[in-house]
Structure 1
């Protein structure tokens, strides 16, 4: 009996372990499965996705060195900064990543790397908003827009990131006044998601709304929402002393990373021209690799100049942005 067990153990040890990478992600699996499938087809390395809507940091802390997670993939610079500040990820020294991803879209100490970007733009009614009527984020506080703006909650990550950028550009006092004025211009209490605001424009409840660019792609490709998309055009506002606000989706290597070599190989693949093009086509986002092509649909929205303020600096103002939104009772 002992001999059989030893033989069985030896056989198991002689069998090559399945090469794999385990990913914790806040992104819906269907959005990233195609690029992961392409990676597996090219390398033979399996990718296991665990969708975690919230609490990734808490989970990684609880698991500690026993965590099966190799990578964390999430959206929003504030989330990326949170996982770095929590000490649950480690830096990656990769010439491939440093060459493919612009410096402003990765951590200065190589603890997170951007994979795609999206712009926080204005959806404007084709019927009721003239070309050039809104050009800056600061414009949204003007009396011109009284009773004409729709938006989701002011405390949602996407709006907090925009508010954080406003603080970075103009300081807290200005940003608080701006938030209060935008609130006064709302056509209704903040509610729903970004697509719900475009639906409200289509229904005549408001004339402009804040939203991320990729939602246009989601609406265009949904027969039930195409009419909403047809009712608006995308406007790329800029800060008066900057460009259009952008945010990122990104990836980081965990401290535990049981499959570190395979995980870094996946990170490098995700920055490659092939993966960047797949990502951009499926998610209607902008690739971080400068040479990668954007989809025809995304290209049809027009060009813009991304804001050049460092994203980590923007994320550093998130707590102040949340406090200001609560002080002005933006959602009240």
Structure 2
């Protein structure tokens, strides 16, 4: 399959019969994010983690493989991707006290088909030079005519924005959310394009004053010598702190139906919500742990604390199709 990197990670010195020591992971998350976790898991259990990495297409691959699929666990980057897996019928419910006790109810499927692993907020980035502190505080403000020609976003149909738009539908209803999206579209400085970091670059270059982006990109930009000046040009605004809180999205995991190494798969899933794994996973990509009480990375702490929207992600997944339709109706990407 194009774009996949196939790799068996032999992470440990224990040699056991293959049926007893393996677990197969299909991952939409990049290798550098998950390999430290798998190394620690193998160190503790002796179970070898075999991984296929890809940017897309893994759910389709699992469907094509059918009952012969070697996949045990799917790791994803967004609620949209994980809900696609459930809708495709390739997932299996997990009944685990460890998972249920470690992950808040709004961050997991009520039927045990998926579980969040890390969180990221959908923040507003505002120019330090051209936007006064406190001048924009809510997602709703993005539709204020005062920002006409001053807002940048990536494509309206990108999963990250669809999740935000779905949350607006959940909180305001379809009619009001559509009016808000029309207002946001009228305030765009340019046609939606690029990625989240590209929007912050546009602020630095004076093309716009406000953008929408995931929180972890701030850390990534600060780490990149070529992008550090972009991050230094903006403030991170955690929206809606006086009411419902900032919209959150996740990386997550699901057990694959008919997993050939089901016992090891559940063992891995439970390990991934341990305090140790949560800290490693969140730190490596500047994300927030899903398990309450796990300490944030130091640089993430420096961005400040915030109130998170506790809207069930299952509700966001349910409203995705409505959000996509709304983007089309207002011609957001045109």
Task: For residues 220-257 of structure 1, give each alpha carbon's deviation from its aligned partner in whole angstroms, at most 9, with x where no partner exists.
Answer: 11111111111111101128852110011110000021
Q: Which residue of 135, 153, 156 maps to 2:155?
A: 153
User: CA 1:210 to 1:182, structure 2 compared with 1: closer, same or farther past 3 Å?
Assistant: same
Q: Which residue of 77, 95, 99 maps to 1:97?
A: 99
Q: Is 2:238 the counterpart of 1:236?
A: yes
- Give yes or no for contact 1:138–1:239 (8 Å, CA) kept in 2: no
Match of 1:55 in 2: 57
Task: For residues 257-293 of structure 1, give each alpha carbon's deviation from its aligned partner in whole angstroms, at most 9, with x where no partner exists.
Answer: 1111111111000000000000111010000111111
Q: Which residue of 261, 273, 278 maps to 1:276?
A: 278
Q: Equivalents in 2 of 1:172, 1:16: separation in Å?
A: 52
Shifted more, 73-82 versus 224-233: the winner is 73-82
Q: Equivalents in 1 of 2:284, 2:187: separation in Å?
A: 35
Match of 2:70 in 1: 68
Match of 1:313 in 2: 315
Match of 1:252 in 2: 254
Q: Equivalents in 2 of 1:93, 1:316: separation in Å?
A: 22
Shift of 1:16: 6.0
Match of 1:6 in 2: none
Q: Which residue of 216, 221, 229 maps to 2:218?
A: 216
Q: Which runs of 5+ in 1 are unaligned?
A: 1-13
- Give yes or no for contact 2:123–2:212 (8 Å, CA) kept in 1: yes
- Give yes or no for contact 2:241–2:306 (8 Å, CA) kept in 1: no
Q: Equivalents in 2 of 1:66, 1:17: separation in Å?
A: 15
**TM-score, normalized by length of structure 1?**
0.93
- Give yes or no for contact 1:276–1:288 (8 Å, CA) kept in 2: yes
Match of 1:118 in 2: 120
- Give yes or no for contact 2:77–2:251 (8 Å, CA) kept in 1: yes
Matched residue pairs, number?
319
Match of 1:170 in 2: 172
Q: Which residue of 123, 143, 147 maps to 1:141?
A: 143
| SS in structure 2 of the partner of residue 72 of structure 1 | strand
Q: Which residue of 78, 81, 94 maps to 2:80?
A: 78
- Give yes or no for contact 1:238–1:244 (8 Å, CA) kept in 2: yes
Shift of 1:56: 2.2
Q: Which runs of 5+ in 2 are unaligned?
A: 1-15
| SS in structure 2 of the partner of residue 131 of structure 1 | coil
User: CA 1:258 to 1:16, structure 2 compared with 1: closer, same or farther past 3 Å?
Assistant: closer
Shift of 1:67: 0.3
Task: For residues 161-197 of structure 1, give each alpha carbon's deviation from its aligned partner in whole angstroms, at most 9, with x where no partner exists.
Answer: 0000000011111111111111110111111000000
Q: Is 2:295 the counterpart of 1:293?
A: yes
Shifted more, 239-248 versus 137-146: the winner is 239-248
* Higher-Rg member (1/2): 1
